[in-house]
Structure formats: C-alpha cells, structure tokens
Amino acid sequence: MATEQNEPRPTNSDLSPKPMAYPTSEEDMAKKPDWDLSNYKPAGKLTGKVALITGGDSGIGRAVALAFAMEGADVAVLYHSNAEDAAVVGQAVQAQGRKFLAIQADVRSASECREAVRRTHAELGGFNILVNNAAFQTGYEHFETIPEENIHRTFDTNIKGYIFMAQAAIPFMKEGDSIINTGSIAGLVGNPHQVDYASTKGAIHTFTKSLAAYLGEKKIRVNAVLPGPIWTPLIPGTMLKEDLAKFGDETMLGRPGQPEELAPSYVYFASQDGSYSTGSLLEVTGGMPKTN
C-alpha cells in the first residue's frame, strides 16, 4: 500500500508577507493560499446536499466550497465585491460536476441575506448547510484610534451578519441540517492590535452555543471552527506590518496554516460524521498560543 506523503507547508519566511491594499484579491497575491485539496480523499459525505457559504470567494471559504463539492454538494457562495475570485471558485466547483451559484450581497443587510438564501433554495433545489464565514478586520497599533465607522463595520459584518444569515436560513432547514460558523482563536485569547475583531469572534462563539441550544429540538446542529493564523487575502490586506513579519511564528508548529487544512473540519460538521456534535468550538490553530 502506498504511503501518503505529507505536503510541505510554507513558513512565514517562505511567504515573506508584505502589506497589500484592502480589499485584497486572492488572484493578486504573490504567494497564493493553498486551497486545492490535492491530497484530500472525498467519500461522498455530502451527496445530495446544498450549501451556502458567505465569504466563499477566497481564503477559508474558497477551500470549504471545493471540499463540499468534492463530497457531492451543490454550492452557492456569497461574495461582497470580488466577482473574479468568485468565478475561480465556480470553475473549481463545476469541475467536480456540481452546480454552482455566485451571489453578490452584503451580509450587513438582513434583506440581502434573505434574498441570498431564497435564491440558493430556488436555484439549487434545496438548503441544508449554512457556513457563516464572511468577515471584516483591520489592524491598529492603538485601540484608542479605531474609527467609529470601522467598529460598526466589524460588528455589523462579523456578528450581525451571522445572525441575519441564520435567521434567513432556518425556515428552509430540517432535521440533520447544519450551520457552521467561523470563529477564531482571537475570540479566546484576544488580540491587542485587533480588539474589535477579537471581540466579535468571542461573540460568534457564544452565538454558536446559544443557537445550538435553541435549535436542539429541531435537530439542526450548530458548530464553529476556530482557525488560528491562516494565510488568506485578509492577512496582507489588513494586518500591521509588524504582525505580518511574525505571522504564524507563534504557533507550536511554527508556521501559518493554509485554507485547505481547515476545510475538512467544515466537512466533519456538515456531514453525518458530526451527527453528535452541536454547540462545539473546534480549534484548528497549529497549537496557538504556544506555551513558553
């Protein structure tokens, strides 16, 4: 029997991250995130399912979209502004023989969330899995200088958007369906340069547990994946230069993670493999924070 080979992963020094303008397109990154799941072994775990992924055009959402398609799901992605990135995802999903739908929308709008869910159900023929993944973040050296506008945008996108999407999706969902939220290690340990962002992620963790309790009787499961430092377009587009220079170094594995290393966790929660998991917060952090 052939032995599966470990895929080499880049360290921070390999990536040599430099600040980029926000919003950042994945296609413009010199060192692109690894999302092709070349070593992933699908097993038809989501055959016949329909999934909607917010922020599914790049980063973690892009890898999750591909993983779901490889497992047999039809996939809709909600993107804010980057149609080019969304088209790349569409090509990857359709290459797996699955249906794909790209929806431009803003999760800060409850009405746009409702329309995205309605379109997914109508055009893909069902609605089984919601992945709340869209996020906004910025880095600031001084907490006192965070603009009020950015605080509102961070909370409106990262927690209100999750609530709006769940409110829209639940009427279309049934027993065995799944909501998966993207949290963050920052919501557990904090981040001195992203106080507002870390606060929203802590709120997402509590939202996950509370919504799981609410939906328990309906047997709709709600869980969260908590990434550590993952190489996505948000990183060079929003982080301070000093934080970029050590991004991922603080983990026990000594490197950033790649989006495809997160995707199987979403498959677990979306499939029957996770049938007894609800209200769970799964850390995929490379061992962060590192114990000194």
Q: Is residue 83 part of a domain?
A: yes
- Residue 39 CA, distance from chain mean position: 20
Distances (CA, A) of 96 to 82, 83, 141: 22, 20, 44
Rg over alpha carbons for the chain, rounded to the nearest Å, is 18
Task: Identify the DSSP state of 230.
Answer: B
Tell whether 24 is covered by a domain.
no
Going by pLDDT thresholds of 50, 70 and 90, the confidence category of residue 75 is very high
**Residue 32: inside a domain:** no
| Count of beta carbons in the 10 Å neighbourhood of residue 174 | 11
Mean per-residue pLDDT over the chain, rounded: 94
The H-assigned helical ranges of the chain are: 12-15, 59-70, 83-95, 110-124, 148-155, 161-169, 186-189, 195-215, 234-238, 241-244, 259-270
Residue in 192, 118, 106, 116 with CA at minimum distance from that of residue 156: 106
pLDDT in tens, 34-46: 999 999 999 999 9
Identify the active-site residue in 79, 162, 197, 266: 197
Is 197 designated active site? yes
* Domain annotation covers residue 268: yes
Out of 10-24, 197-211, 275-289, pick the least confident. 10-24
* Helix (H/G/I), strand (E/B), else coil: 227: strand
* 101 sits in which H/E element: strand 100-104
Which DSSP category does 21 fall into?
A: P
Query: For residue 58, is it within any domain?
Result: yes
Structural domain including 260 reads 43-284
Q: What is the pTM of this model?
A: 0.94
Is 292 part of a structural domain of the chain?
no
Residue 291 inside a domain? The answer is no
CA dist 98 and 205 (Å) reads 31
The total number of structural domains in the chain stands at 1
For residue 237, pLDDT beyond 70: yes
**292 has a pLDDT exceeding 60:** no
Q: What is the pLDDT of residues 161-182, one digit of tens each?
A: 999 999 999 999 999 999 999 9
CATH number of the domain enclosing 89: 3.40.50.720
CB 236 within 8 A of CB 29: yes
Residue 133 forms part of a structural domain: yes
